[in-house]
């Protein structure tokens, strides 16, 4: 009887040492959506979609996730363009605390007028990192609410010649990447400023894609990760 009791107690102590309670660890194990707690460190150069997906996977695994099919919510442009909405599975998706942020792709993007009126549930309090922490936004120091997406509001890629993905996530110099605001706040209350995935292109003194550029407008090279269930 003594040894049967001792093992669970030791497990709880071990989790406490990592700053995680057993219920919190269980929720993170089943999470299917998060904002990266850190970027890749090279601005919008994420090593392409493959590098971004690997970053999602590494962060999720370190946090205790049991999901293995993590994809970055990013679009690409040009020949063979990829839509972010097509990379993330069917849903539903829940954050590290078990809060469902959208039931399906249509709800996530407001595909119909009726669904758009209701909206998804991505807000500052629900767009948590893989650690279950709130990502910094308007009112925090520093503000890091610019989230890389390279996407239009419906989750599709941009057509045309204007760069909106920093060279399909391979450039950290001249270019631009479309970002969204995870906290749904901006300089005004226009729809783009309140958009979680399509607010404005990046810009800055180095040309638009460097780490300094992203920081200059309220970002840090962070992006959304979804488990493609």
What is the pLDDT, as a whole number, of residue 103?
97
12 in any annotated domain: no
Q: Determine the 3-state secondary structure of 219 from DSSP.
A: strand
Two tokens, residue 127: 């767009």
Evaluate whether residue 199 is within a structural domain: yes
Tell me the average confidence (pLDDT) per consecutive run of 10 residues in the chain, 229 residues long.
39 43 61 98 98 98 95 98 98 97 97 85 97 97 98 97 98 98 96 97 97 97 95
Instruction: Provide the token pair at 125.
Output: 């309090």
Domain carrying residue 167: 33-227
d(CA 147, CA 178): 8
Contact status, residue 96 vs residue 132, Cβ threshold 8 Å: yes
Q: Is residue 93 part of a domain?
A: yes
> What's the CATH code of the domain at 50?
3.10.100.10
CB-based burial label for 203 (10 Å; 0-12, 13-18, 19+): middle
Confidence (pLDDT) at 13: 37
Tell me whether residue 13 is in a domain: no
- Give, rounded to a whole angstrom, the gap between the first and last alpha carbons of the chain: 40
Predicted confidence at residue 8, as pLDDT, reads: 41
d(CA 5, CA 217): 53
- Structural domain total, the chain: 1
Bridge pairing between strands 219-227 and 70-72: antiparallel
CA distance 40 to 93: 23
């Amino acid at each position: 009887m003594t040894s049967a009791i001792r093992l669970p107690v030791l497990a709880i102590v071990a989790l406490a040492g990592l700053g995680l309670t057993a219920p919190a660890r269980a929720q993170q194990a089943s999470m299917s959506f998060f904002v990266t707690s850190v970027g890749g460190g090279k601005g919008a150069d994420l090593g392409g979609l493959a590098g971004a997906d690997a970053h999602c996977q590494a962060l999720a695994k370190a946090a205790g996730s049991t999901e293995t099919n993590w994809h970055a919510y990013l679009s690409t442009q040009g020949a063979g363009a990829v839509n972010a909405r097509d990379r993330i599975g069917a849903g539903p998706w829940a954050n590290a605390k078990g809060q469902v942020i959208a039931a399906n792709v249509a709800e996530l993007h407001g595909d119909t007028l009726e669904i758009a009126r209701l909206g998804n549930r991505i807000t500052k309090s629900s767009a948590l990192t893989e650690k279950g922490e709130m990502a910094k936004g308007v009112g925090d120091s520093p503000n890091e609410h610019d989230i890389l997406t390279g996407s239009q509001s419906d989750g599709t890629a941009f057509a045309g010649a204007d760069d909106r993905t920093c060279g399909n996530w391979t450039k950290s110099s001249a270019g631009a990447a479309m970002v969204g605001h995870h906290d749904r706040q901006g300089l005004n209350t226009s729809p783009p400023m309140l958009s979680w995935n399509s607010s404005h292109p990046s810009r800055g003194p180095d040309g638009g894609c460097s780490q300094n550029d992203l920081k200059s407008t309220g970002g840090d090279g962070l992006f959304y990760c979804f488990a493609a269930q």
